[in-house]
Amino acid sequence: MKKFYVTTAIYYPNDIPHIGHAYTTIAVDILARWHKLKGEKVRFLTGTDDHGKKIEEIAKKHGQAPKEFTDRLIPKFKDAWKKLNIKYDRFIRTTDSDHEKLVQEVLTKVNKKGDIYLGKYEGYYCTGCEAYYTEKDLINNCCPIHKKPVEKLREPSYFFRLSKYQKKLLELYKRNPNFILPKFRQQEIINRVKEELYDLSISRTDFDWGIPIPFDKKHVTYVWFDALLNYITGADGFWPADVHLIGKDIIWFHTVIWPAILLSAGYKLPKSVFAHGWWTFNQEKISKSRGKVININELISIAGVDSARYFLFRETPFGEDGDFSEQALIERHNNELANKFGNLISRVSALAEKYAIEKTKNNLIKKLKLKEIEKHFENYEFDKALNLIFEFIDRCNEYVQGNKIWEASCLDRGKKLYELADSIKAISILLSPFMPETCEKIAKIFHFKISFSEIHKPLKIEKIKKAEILFKKI
């Protein structure tokens, strides 16, 4: 059986999850469901990145210990994923004991190999990014991403010999042109790696909310050396990952630092890393400080779970930035889901309840561009897959309308209804990764199983009942 292992970035549990976290997590859910449809053995890993200075500081503000603080936030993440109908296999936390053990083992291994040394870190640190910057990265002495002042650090630190892996990384990008996806993001990374790679500071002594370095307990490692390794801890025999889905802001860590750690520790490399774009809200950056955050309850309350899941992947090509607006979501819900998809299901199910359906060859389905749709799924082109599925929904609606099925002769009507019902089966199976709840309802009405191979099997004729309204217009 073919295996498929896919992961989300693990999120900082410093607040409740918002649309940015939901975006990666739904994308992974769509991919996982797609590969399950295809009969593959799938592993889907998500979780939280509990350590680091940022969490420690926020916990302190709340008068809590970091563990206590994060323990209270984790249920909010789990609850959000449940509401969004996300089916992961493991929710990992970097504080899980198997993970802490693995990180220490890897540190020991990499140290023995001579890839870790004690040095002195002198430079700048942004707690928002949990990352180091050099003077030339800064803009007006501020972090280029958070635009906030950075901390000047001068302290002993263990370093990972990232510089040693420059050549191997460049070879990797050449050998595997799908390692960094989308392709338009490759060149920037390659250029930066070619220019110069600095060794990476991986430990600190001025706080302790991290994993103790096994060979020097005064130091803790946290965030990147710690967090990235979650993908190995949670693999459960599925390593190497087929794809890590992440946001574009953390592409450097996943396509440079991560493969270097794996090369040093002697693990296989993931097959690819796909970086998606960022959402803005009414053209403004989503930011907590300015009050522009869309949390999961808000997202769902606009038009329901399936419409939200659909919208995020129809509105913008995956990989590019998108702008979220309530109006745009409502328009797609009304025009595409209620008027087109919902209407097709309701008309065909109503006719099939009233008139007998007659088994025949489905010629209508020739208009479904199945091979192209599969290709789009494989290439993470979710918007294009959806476009083609909805093109076919249009053809089906025209078929109902143009043929005036209700006026046709009994036999002819029965056959046309069969073609439509069988086409609805294909449509719903293909849409099920995006809208699982709705598609399961349709599967019950038309009596089919949600599995890719069912697309090619003729629909069994059983009594069909008129569907309830699937998408109420707003």
CB of 132 to ligand MSP, least distance (A): 15
Closer to ligand MSP at the Cβ: 36 or 244? 244
Backbone angles phi, psi at 10, to 5 degrees: -95, 140
CB of 147 to ligand MSP, least distance (A): 15
| Binding-residue pattern over the window 201 to 220 for ligand MSP, x denoting contact by CB under 6 A | --------------------
- Please say if 143 is a catalytic residue: yes
Measure the CA–CA gap between 241 and 48, rounded to whole angstroms: 18
Beta-carbon contacts of 66 under 8 Å, excluding residues fewer than 6 positions away, are 50, 51, 55, 56, 59, 209
Indicate which residue of 35, 143, 333, 415 is catalytic.
143
Closer to ligand MSP at the Cβ: 285 or 354? 285
DSSP output for 60-91: HHTTS-HHHHHHHHHHHHHHHHHHTT---SEE
Query: Do residues 29 and 86 make contact, with C-beta atoms less than 8 angstroms apart?
Result: yes
Measure the CA–CA gap between 310 and 315, rounded to whole angstroms: 8
Name the residue with the smallest CB distance to ligand MSP.
Answer: 247
Site residues (CB under 6 A) for ligand MSP, limited to 2-31? 9-12, 20-21, 23-24
Indicate which residue of 35, 99, 126, 415 is catalytic.
126
CB of 232 to ligand MSP, least distance (A): 11
Choosing from 29, 49, 242, 336, the residue that interacts with ligand MSP (CB under 6 A) is 49
Backbone angles phi, psi at 416, to 5 degrees: -65, -40
CB of 203 to ligand MSP, least distance (A): 17
DSSP 3-state of 335: helix
- Please say if 142 is a catalytic residue: no
User: Tokens representing 403?
Assistant: 């043929």
Indicate which residue of 82, 285, 460, 465 is catalytic.
285
Query: Do residues 5 and 239 make contact, with C-beta atoms less than 8 angstroms apart?
Result: yes
- Please say if 285 is a catalytic residue: yes
Residues that contact ligand MSP, how many (by CB under 6 A): 18
Q: Does 470 bind ligand MSP (CB under 6 A)?
A: no
- Please say if 444 is a catalytic residue: no
Q: What are the start-end ranges of the H helices in 403-453? A: 410-431, 436-446
Q: Does 228 bind ligand MSP (CB under 6 A)?
A: yes
- Please say if 126 is a catalytic residue: yes
Q: Which among 174, 180, 187 has a CA at the least distance from the CA of 254?
A: 180
Cis omega before residue 240 (within 30°)?
yes
Measure the CA–CA gap between 7 and 91, rounded to whole angstroms: 11
Indicate which residue of 21, 53, 254, 376 is catalytic.
21
Site residues (CB under 6 A) for ligand MSP, limited to 246-305? 246-247, 249-250, 278-279, 286
Q: Does 182 bind ligand MSP (CB under 6 A)?
A: no
Positions marked catalytic: 18, 21, 126, 129, 143, 146, 285, 288
Q: Which residues bind ligand MSP (CB under 6 A)?
A: 9-12, 20-21, 23-24, 49, 227-228, 246-247, 249-250, 278-279, 286
